[in-house]
Amino acid sequence: MFGSDCDVGPRARVSHSVREDTDGLLVRRVLAGERQVYARLVERYRDRLGRYAVRMLGDVADAEDALQDTFVRGYRSLARCTDPERFGAWLFGILVNRCRTYAAKRTRRQKLVVTDDIAVASASVEHTEDRDASREAIMWALDQLPEEQREAFLLKHVEELSYEEMQQVTGTRIPALKMRVFRAREELRRLLTETVRG
């Protein structure tokens, strides 16, 4: 996850002679003084990190604030990125903690509606209403989870981190993480089942 190879876009798959610069190369160029190159790293990870932030915070504006904060902190600390080829994973660790801070700042979230333009555009017209209702129910249920359970669930099942990676990112021991994921699944099942039956 977040390795540079998986960043190669469709164009690069067509022509092997066209290949995007690796994270490591871009990081080294920034550290060598090419500040503007950092924009390419932001572009590369903006949406990918944005998904976690939006899911975790449940609010696009909050998510964008957390993202901006993350990218700026990442720039300021870039010299401490000890493995530039894994810049994305390193930055993700910063994001997870920034999301914790932003989540803690909120007293109580307003109504949770997340619109994924790409996903909506790809949905068939006849299923759009059902799909949106289902998505809204899922977002609502996710929002009901305690923050630590929501974080663990998203990292494990949506971002597909291993428990070892989760431990590195969160600083929480693996048995506790497993318990949080288990409880999150149970609670989501309960909430979504009740929603359907209701």
Partner 1 sequence: MAEHDDTIARAVQALKEPVRIDPSLTSRVMSEIEALPMPDGTAGRATVLEWLRRPRTIRLSPLGGLAMAAGLTAVVLAGSWFAGPRGTPAPVQGIATAQFTQPIQFVLVAPEAGSVTLVGDFNDWNLTATPMEKEAGDGVWWVTVPLEPGRYRYSFVVDGTTWLGDPNAPTLEDEFGRSNAVVTIGGA
In whole angstroms, the minimum distance from the beta carbon of 81 to partner 1 comes to: 9
Which lies closer to partner 1 via its Cβ, residue 109 or residue 189? Answer: 189
Cα 163 to Cα 149: distance, rounded to the nearest angstrom: 14
In whole angstroms, the minimum distance from the beta carbon of 11 to partner 1 comes to: 18
Which lies closer to partner 1 via its Cβ, residue 5 or residue 34? Answer: 34
Q: Which residues bind partner 1 (CB under 8 A)?
A: 30-33, 35-36, 38-39, 42-43, 46-47, 50-51, 54-55, 60, 63-64, 67-68, 71-80, 82, 93-94, 97-98, 100-101, 114, 116-119, 134-135, 138, 141-142, 154, 157-158, 167-168, 171, 173, 185, 188-189, 192-193
The closest of 29, 55, 70 to 153, measured between CA atoms, is: 55
Contact 3, 20 (CB under 8 A): no
Which lies closer to partner 1 via its Cβ, residue 18 or residue 39? Answer: 39
In whole angstroms, the minimum distance from the beta carbon of 95 to partner 1 comes to: 10
Which lies closer to partner 1 via its Cβ, residue 18 or residue 133? Answer: 133
Reading the block at residue 32, the tokens are 């060598």
In whole angstroms, the minimum distance from the beta carbon of 58 to partner 1 comes to: 11
Residue 89 has phi, psi (to 5 degrees) of -65, -40
Give the burial string for 149-186 (b: 16+ CB within 10 Å, else e).
bbbbbbbbeebebebebbeebbebeeeebeebbebbbe
In whole angstroms, the minimum distance from the beta carbon of 46 to partner 1 comes to: 5
CA distances from 59 to 10, 113, 122 (A): 30, 7, 22
Provide the angle, in degrees to the nearest 10, between the axes of the packed helices 60-76 and 38-57. Answer: 140
Which lies closer to partner 1 via its Cβ, residue 16 or residue 76? Answer: 76
In whole angstroms, the minimum distance from the beta carbon of 14 to partner 1 comes to: 21
Residue 32 has phi, psi (to 5 degrees) of -80, -5
Which lies closer to partner 1 via its Cβ, residue 17 or residue 52? Answer: 52
DSSP helix/strand/coil, 173: coil
